[in-house]
Amino acid sequence: QVQLQESGPGLVKPSETLSLTCSVSGDSISSHYWSWIRQPPGKGLEWIGHIFYDGSTNYNPSLKSRVTLSVDTSKNQFSLKLSSVTAADTAVYYCGGNMWGSPFDVWGQGTVITVSS
């Protein structure tokens, strides 16, 4: 059974870069497409983008200019960098996985990110 665990700073200052890592256990990192999804307080879910084990990516156009996804197959981890953050980026950030043409069947527990000085 695949399990995901996010790790990150919790608090980020405005204009800085948010960095999060998701660790994959229980299966090979080549088994799924790996996504980041966020949920601002009291709002719906927003897909940020995904990466495959070979490094290929797709990003949400709404965030594409500020997002970089990467994968480290040796550590079974993938990561998110979101630059120039503002208060609007305050959210619970989830990592998730899906197989090609399928919905998200695995989710991390989520990590709360607050953007504040």
Which residues lie near another protein (CB under 8 A)? 35, 43-47, 49, 58-62, 94, 96, 98, 101-105, 107-110
Closest CA to 60 of 37, 31, 85: 37
Q: Pick the closer one to another protein by CB: 61 or 117.
A: 61
For another protein, the closer CB: 15 or 105:
105
With CA atoms as reference, report the closest residue to 74 among 23, 108, 110: 23
CA distance 49 to 38: 10
CB 54 within 8 A of CB 34: no
Report the nearest approach of another protein to the CB of residue 42 (Å).
10
Q: Between 33 and 53, whose beta carbon lies closer to another protein?
A: 33
117, 30 contact by CB (below 8 A) = no
Beta carbon of residue 44, minimum distance to another protein (angstroms, whole number): 4
Least spacing, CB of residue 97 vs another protein, in Å: 11
Which C-beta is closer to another protein: that of 16 or that of 92? 92
* Cβ 5 to another protein shortest distance, Å: 11
Sign of dihedral through CA atoms 94, 75, 11, 80?
A: negative
